[in-house]
Every structure is written in structure tokens, then in C-alpha cells.
Amino acid sequence: MPLIVPLLVALLLVGCGGGGGASSSSGGGTGGTVSTPTTPTSVYAKPALEALSQADVEAVIAHGVAEARARGLPAVIAVVDRVGNVLAVYSMAGARATAMTRAGAAGNTDAQGVQFPAALGAISKAVTGAYLSSAGNAFSTRTASMIVQAQFPPSKNSIGLESGPLFGVQFSQLPCSDLNTRFAGGLIGPKRSPLGLAADPGGFPLYKNGVLVGGVGIMADGDYGLDPETSDIDLDDEEAIALAATFGFDAPVTIRADRISVDGTTLRYSDADAASLKSTPASAPGFATLGAVGSLTPVAGFYGGGTSAGTAYGSEASGIRAATLAEFNNPDAYVLSDGAGNNRFPVRAGTDSEAGTPLSVAEVKALLEEGFKIMTRARAQIRQPLDSRAQVSLSVVDTRGTVLGVVRSPDAPIFGIDVALQKARSVAFLSGRFAASDLAAVTTAAGGADANVRDFVTRTNAFFGNGDFLTGKYAISNRAIGNVARPYFPDGEVARPNGPLSRPAAQFSPFSTGLQSALIVQNLVQVLNGGDPQRCTFLPATAGGSNRLANGLQIFPGAVPVYRGSTLVGAIGVSGDGIDQDDMISFLGANNAGVRVGGISLPPAAIRSDQIVVALSGSSGVRLRFVNCPFAPFLDTADQNVCQAL
């Protein structure tokens, strides 16, 4: 039986990390004592205030309809703007009204084999294309498929490789999120997505004059799945229809996913190309001539009908705008707004008196500002041109998961807003003393016991051989959560059993990851049945009235807990331009904030998750990780090992 043993020497998981252990970097450097600018100056270009016009939206639909007709496959076509407002949903006559998530090989666990209105899938694909992209990267739902599967790259030839770098991101932007806004709230974003992010080919971003302005998504074949094989060309009708729809609004070639590599693997953007289209988008009949070909169809909770112009990202109306210096002391900062000039998540003090001395306003401000400074110096991983600055979203929470502040850079991908909050809440939850008891108290929507969730407590205790992991004894980072939320432990070793927060490999899919999906599947069902849950999970309410994972659990890296001495007081989460960058920004941001204001710090090295070593047969033990900082991390210095020895 595996045991937690504090070994000094252990077999490391693939990819070393900082935070009390060896760094992934090599060469000399200044460790974590990295200087940061004392006077912030603007270093980012702000996106131009471009938006899709009503005529643009209708042109996108018309181009898609022409390709669908040429293929004899009636489709549902959805168009959204950059912050997720649904601008149109067009259903062609004869289009399938419903679709189904890909069924599991060993039964329909969690969100596998779920039937839903096809329009919800089309909206989710459009949102994915818009939310994963930026001025420096254009990602499609095929790109998403590649980075969320059990091996990276996904292929029958990939046995023994680690899971995708954004494994779990599909369960973000959830329709139950308490951060993402609703249709009834006007144009402000980011809007929720009906099914989270999509991995089914058929969703692309839309660009206008080189500026990201939205996304388009197609549902036509009834199958909402993914591409498990990236070593061949996948001829997908939905992707071809979506590609035709982007005509005149297609992503710049230089920033498409197939110009970006992760860990030496070039990402995929589209297996369809202009030569494979069966229509000629430039001569497609106009929207006004479509007549009985189809109609614009309202979608309850997401779209009211008709075609609308998009809102320009960065404007007050979009809900994401430049911060005033009174709101955040950096000229490059953006915040979430209510559309009337008010910051939705201004910096505030912690609410959790049970944690001892809660985080103060000065401490929260220091965490966000110091993390922001590290971001401005960091080299991006998923952005063109090479050597661009990283752009991310940052969130700070207290031990209840209450949002204490949200800030982002001008062009950070939109998906990172919700994900950064998920990450912060996830590490605060699993580092806290309430994790086991809260999970054991989860009920169903009807109020009964939810064994589907509660079973993970039993599994986790059995895996580690004791109850230490879920009771606050250790400071658990998001990288460590990911270590034990994979279908094999260690990640990629297919002869091993699953981690305790994952489904067994036979039950696993991107629709059924484990605790992450089990926590929110009831909320998804509520939405599909016409409900509108205002928060995710059925965890018990805190004294503040919400629950600690109100927008769901996240299981890929980019967050660390924050301590006052040996007491957990909150967490910082980061998401945007690469998971190692996210780790570094959260880690060094927390460290530098503690140096700046005193009183708070990274967790003591002796209780960090990289002190947990799991004894496995045939090995001397496998150590969990805390963070994994990138090689050559900064643009302004040659420092290496920047997370070591902190």
C-alpha cells in the first residue's frame, strides 16, 4: 500500500520543480530573489477596439451555410464575440436538434454519453475558439482536443507520454460558474459556456483587421467528441463548415496553433484547408437570400434571437477594460467591470476569521501587483512572435474561496480569467483542513448523499495510506493536484493505476476526469434541464454563504497557497501563456509579496506537496511536485533556477 514518507531522495515525476526541490532550470542564477521594477511602466500594446458588426455576423453564417449545403449536412451555426456574447445561432432546416457527448468505453460516467441541444454544443465550440485565442495565438477546438487528453500528443503511438498540458481545462467556463456572466446580464463578459470548453473539431476564432473579435462553432453530426489520433489527417465535416465560415475573418497564419510548439510538439489548428472545401466562400449567397434554408433560433439562457453586433473587447460595455491607477497600480492592468464603471472584483480583505488573521487589503494588493510584475518580465510559451511577454489573468482568494481580487494583462486569453480563479480556489481547498469533511458532506441535487464524490475521500486515504492529504497537513499546489488527478500515476506510466483524484483509465475521458467532473456533473444536468445554477458543486456552504469551489475544480498547474507562518490564509492562481509560466508567476509573486509587506509567505518548505513521496512497488518512491518553473524564464535577464531555494 502506498505511504507518504518524507524521503530526501526519491524518483521524481517527469519534470522537476522548484519550491524546496530541484529546479527544472539549469545554470547559474539568482534563485528566487529576482529584482522587479519599482515603478511600473507600460510594456503591452492594448488591443484595438474592433468588433463584429451585424453584417459581419450574417456573413459568417452565410459562408458556413454554403459549405454545409455543399456537403449535404444541415448544421447549427453559432457566432460569439470575444467575451462570449452569443450574436447568432442559426439552425438549418433538417439539422439535428440534439447531440451527445462521446460515450465511454466502460460505461457513461460523469459527462460521458449525455444528450443535449445541438445549439449548446455550437455555442461551446464558438466560445472555445474565442476564449483560447489572443493577438499572439489562434487556437481552435482541434487545438483544445490535442491538449486535454490522457497523452500528449494523443495517438496510438503516444503510450508512455504525459497527459496534455491543459488537461482539465475543458471543465472551465462552466455554466454554473459564479464568475462568468449570464445572458440576462447584458453584454458584459466573460460569458459562461453551456458545456465548458469544447474538444470537438468545428470551432475557430474570428479576427477582424488582425484583431480577435470572436468565434464560430458548428454542430451537425450529432457527435460531440474529440480527435484521439493526431498522427493522421482527420476529415471532419463540421471543421470544414466552420473553416468556410471564417472566410474574411480567419486567423492570421503566423499565430495559428500550427506555428506554436509545446514541449517540442507542434500544435494542430485545422485538418481542413481551403482546398478541401466544397463551396467557394467568396461567392456564397448572402444571408438575406437564405430564406427557407434555416432560421435564427433562440436558446434559453444564452441567446434571445436575431443577429447582433459584437461588443468591442476592452470597452466598458464588454465588461473587461483597462483599470484606473486607483484600482490597480499598473498602466497595463485590466479588470472585470459591471458595464457601469464599477470593478466587479476590487481588491478586498479576506473574509475568513476562522483562518486566524485574514489577508489584508495591502497583502492582497501586493500578491496581485508582484505577480503582475513577474508576468511582465516572463517569456510567453504559447504566443507568437517568439520572445513575446507572457500575458495572464491573476486571482487571489481566501480560505473560503472568496474572490479578493482579479486582474489581467491587456491581451491575455479570456479562458484564463475563470481558470485562474478555479486554480486559486482548488489549492486553497485542498490545502485546507476542511477538504475531507466538505467532500464527505457533498449531497446530490435532491439532497441525498453523493457517493460519486464522497468515494474520492476513501480512495485518496487508501492511496496515501492515511488521511493526511485532505486535512490541511500539507500545502498542496495545483501541480501536485494534477499529479494525482491523472489516469496513471506517475503520469504516463500505463502499467500503473490511476491517481486517487482521477477515474481509472478504463473510465477516463475528457468528459470524465475524476473528482473534477464528479463535482460538477449535477450542475451540468441542471443546465441541460433548463436550470440556472449560480455556483458549481454541491459542497457545503461556508460561513460566507458560498462554497469553496463555486466555479469548479481545476487540475493543471498555476497556483500556490499563501500562508501566515504555518497557517493557510489564501491562494494565488494564474492562467494564460503556459503552465510553467503560470507556476512561476504565482510562486514568485507570492514570495515577493511576502518580502514586500511581511506577514505572509509561501508555505513552509517542510509542508509543501513536494515533501510527499508515494511509495510504489518497483521504485524508491515518487515525489509529488510543488511548482515547475521554465527554462530561460525572463526576457530581461539570463537568470535560471529562479524558483530554487525559496
Rg of the chain over Cα atoms, rounded to whole angstroms, equals 23
Q: Does domain 54-296 have CATH number 3.30.450.150?
A: yes
- Amino acid 542: pLDDT: 93
Strand order in the sheet with 98-101: 115-117, 98-101, 223-224
- Amino acid 160: pLDDT: 76
Chain center to CA of 59 = 30
3-state DSSP call for residue 273?
coil
Question: For 398, which DSSP code?
Answer: -
**Residue 396 contacts residue 591 (beta carbons within 8 Å):** no
Question: CB-based burial of residue 637 (10 Å sphere; 0-12 exposed, 13-18 middle, 19+ buried)?
Answer: middle
> Averaged in consecutive runs of 10 residues, what is the pLDDT profile of the chain (646 residues)?
36 35 32 52 96 98 98 98 98 98 84 96 98 98 96 85 93 98 95 98 98 98 95 95 98 98 93 97 97 97 97 98 95 97 98 93 98 97 96 98 98 98 98 96 83 93 92 97 95 91 90 96 92 95 93 98 97 96 98 97 97 87 94 94 87
Residue 448 contacts by C-beta under 8 Å, 6 or more apart in sequence?
none
C-alpha span between 169 and 573 (Å, rounded): 14
E strands, 19-153, in order: 76-81, 86-92, 98-101, 115-117
**Residue 362 contacts residue 370 (beta carbons within 8 Å):** no
- Amino acid 30: pLDDT: 37
For residue 641, which of 17, 12, 9, 36 has the smallest C-alpha distance? 17
- Amino acid 38: pLDDT: 58
The length of the chain is: 646
What is the DSSP annotation of 129-191? HHHT--SS-B--HHHHHHHSSSSSS-STT-TTPPPPTTTTGGG-S-TT-SSSB-GGGTT-SPB
- Amino acid 17: pLDDT: 39
C-alpha span between 507 and 199 (Å, rounded): 18
Residue with cell 516572463: 378
C-alpha span between 7 and 578 (Å, rounded): 30
Strand partners, 211: 208
